[in-house]
Amino acid sequence: MKWYIRFVAGLFLTIVSVAVLAYCAGAYDVVVSLPRHSTGAVPPVRATGEGSVSLTAAPPDISNPHRKLFDAIAAVESAGRAMAIGDEGRALGPYQITEPYWRDGCEAGGVTWDYHAGVWDRAKCEYIMFSYWARHGALTDEQRARMHCGGPDGPLQDSTIPYWQRVEALMETMP
């Protein structure tokens, strides 16, 4: 039985090594997932393309407790259109996120996602938004929505109140 375990472990390491080398050579985009932890999180091993491999935690599933908020913001910002372009091309995607907002959220969330590739993906946007809100201390849905509209000081700006009122009204109509 020991030879079988060694064989499987060796085969796994060989596959991972080949995949990492292929990625570093520019041939493939590689993500190798490890078994789930007791928390349900899968820490993927990611080849960085710079000759190293890093172990990073999978983004937490933050969308469920805030689903109404995310859906209402998307409705206000883009009528829910995934490929929306606004503010003369400075705000993109279903949540109309700007590049500085994206960079701030990536830094806060510990990810290095490309803005132009990721801003169209709702799950990535939601992770970026939640990370941005957490970094800047938004604790309530009102603070989160107003911060989304007006930046880190959005909750302090009177100009973001009507935005929050639109978001809140939509949230109240959602099941």
Give per-residue pLDDT as tens, 54-91: 434 445 455 468 899 999 999 999 999 999 999 999 99
Strands of 45-47's sheet, edge to edge?
A: 31-32, 45-47, 53-55
Examine the domain organization and report whether 50 and 103 are in the same domain: no
Examine the domain organization and report whether 78 and 162 are in the same domain: yes
Examine the domain organization and report whether 113 and 134 are in the same domain: yes
Tokens of 51: 């000759």
| pLDDT of the residue at 10 | 54
Task: Identify whether the C-beta of residue 82 lies closer than 8 Å to the C-beta of residue 120.
Answer: yes
State pTM to two decimals: 0.65
Q: Which range marks the domain in which residue 29 is found? A: 2-55
Examine the domain organization and report whether 21 and 94 are in the same domain: no
What is the distance between the alpha carbons of residues 132 and 111, in angstroms, rounded to a whole number? 12
| pLDDT of the residue at 151 | 97
Inform me whether the pLDDT recorded for 43 exceeds 80: no
Q: How many structural domains compose the chain?
A: 2
The CATH code of the domain that includes 116 is: 1.10.530.10
Examine the domain organization and report whether 36 and 76 are in the same domain: no
Inform me whether the pLDDT recorded for 12 exceeds 80: no
Cβ neighbors of 6 (< 8 A, separation 6 or more) are none
Examine the domain organization and report whether 50 and 95 are in the same domain: no
Task: Identify whether the C-beta of residue 168 lies closer than 8 Å to the C-beta of residue 138.
Answer: no
Examine the domain organization and report whether 43 and 73 are in the same domain: no
Q: Count how many residues are written for the chain.
A: 175
Examine the domain organization and report whether 19 and 50 are in the same domain: yes
Mean pLDDT of 144-152: 97
Answer with the residue of higher pLDDT: 35 or 119: 119
| pLDDT of the residue at 53 | 39
Mean pLDDT of 13-20: 46
Examine the domain organization and report whether 94 and 165 are in the same domain: yes
Examine the domain organization and report whether 70 and 49 are in the same domain: no
| pLDDT of the residue at 3 | 55
What is the distance between the alpha carbons of residues 51 and 53, in angstroms, rounded to a whole number? 7
